[in-house]
Structure 1
Amino acid sequence: MATPFLSTANSFFPSSSSSSSTSLGPALVSLNNQNVQRRTLCKAFNESPIPIPALTKRSFSLCFITTSLVLAAGNGCSDAVAAILEADDDEELLEKVKKDRKKRLEKQGVISSSGKEKGYLQDLVYKLSQIGQAIDKNDLSAASLVLGGSTDTEWVKNASVAFNKLSSSAEEKTQVETFNSSIASLISSVTENDVESTKVAFVESATALEKWTNLTGLTGQLKGL
């Protein structure tokens, strides 16, 4: 029983070395070529430089933040991370503060050298105070005497000169326009003896003047405000 089994098994293997060499030769050559290709690919991969992306300040911050959150979560690092993220914004804010300070110093210089214009504005405050007291007593005739009946009154024109010299920003100029409009309405209302309209126009004029002085930095330099 053993002899048939062995003979069958032997049929799967060549009986001579020459036949073995002949049948296995092409397979060995193919296998060797595959090994050479693998080594070539590995060498090329190992020697090829891995491109490193350029890091900007923002991308570096994000990388640092990601690492910090992973390695130090819950260890109180959030404030430091936020500070790095906001570095660019802080620089922009610093530049804005410097520009604002420069403008403020320039405005202070203009105001310091504008004694005549500040005198015009002080007279304006006194005139509005007199008009307000007259309106409070419903004495529109007294208010009319101070107003002069038109915007060509000297103190109104002088105030306009001061406004034009000391106003630089859009907000300041807007308040000047509001004042000029309301003072014209005040004169018209007093002339027409309209008490209610006079009171509204007076409040608008005084409010515009107060806002303007706050914007220009004249608050505290004019008495009566």
Structure 2
Amino acid sequence: MIEQEREFKYFLVHEKERRLTTGTATSYIDYLNNITNHIGINITSKTVATEADVRKIDGCLLDTDMPDGSRRNCKSAMHAYLQFLAYSKQVDVSVYPDEIEDQYEGSSKKVTVNKFERNPKAREACIEHYKAICQVCNFNFSDVYGDIGRDFIHVHHIVPLSDIDEEYQVDPIKDLVPVCPNCHAMLHRKSPPYSVDELKAKILPPLPYK
């Protein structure tokens, strides 16, 4: 299993200097999974962190029955993964405990819903329209935390990232919505995510003070 597979695919299609088609990006992921199948090494930021790691894994593949053409493709995919790791270090990362690991139908699924804010201009336009207020519970960080909470908010993609292809143009008003981290995590408690209205309907009345 590739670490941050969904984000890696988005990078290949939308952010890579030489952008790939969705089909080619999927092939890159298949090549990386093929590495795991052949030599049991999962592709993560720890196993493929440097060019030396790529050479080491490529050397291990030489000792397998993998055809030379496939091995070269695997090497190209690893280089693309290195580019993704370098890019991701420049992107703000906000991973909260409830977003790290959830259980779906008995299997473990990693969820990093705020790893990419995708297009920064679209994010800014979304917040300018809705303000930095959670559209589910109306929480405003600046009301509670003062200056340090000003303009802090997550931006949720109403259209799941897995459904976005290279031709998709995000509408900041229709496709994005600002939500607090708690509501963002709750939106992703199922796949596809809950809608904002669905989650609003699930909010329980506050408990009486004792």
TM-score (norm 2): 0.21
TM-score (norm 1): 0.20
Identify the structure with the greater helix proportion: 1
